[in-house]
Amino acid sequence: MLKRFTKNVTQSVAGMIGISVYVLADTFFISVYSGADGLAVLNLILPVYGLIYAIGAMIGIGSATRYAISRAKGENTEHYFVQSVT
């Protein structure tokens, strides 16, 4: 149980670090090519990006959880993908 927990936490932390490195690299290149105005726009847009990412993650994780539970019970699971996309 602890091994599975550690694996899941490690993957989650690695994903967060990956997104942080992406934002850091994006910030660097925007500051070099666009200057202060580009950084201002980036700082205004980053919360929107975070909100879209959070909503997508909630839909994806929630759908995957419902799919796994329904599949374990032997129920029909074909409609979960379509529901999550729409």
Residue 42 near residue 26 (C-beta atoms within 8 A): yes
Q: Which residue has the tokens 């994806």?
A: 60
Identify the pLDDT of residue 43: 87
3-state helix, strand, coil in the chain (%, to 5): 90, 0, 10
pLDDT at 4: 86
pLDDT, residue 46, reads 86
Q: Are 84 and 59 in contact (CB under 8 A)?
A: yes
pLDDT in tens, the chain (86 residues): 888 889 888 998 998 899 889 888 988 998 898 888 888 988 898 899 889 989 988 888 888 888 888 888 888 877 877 877 77
- Quick one: CA dihedral 9, 47, 42, 62, positive or negative? positive
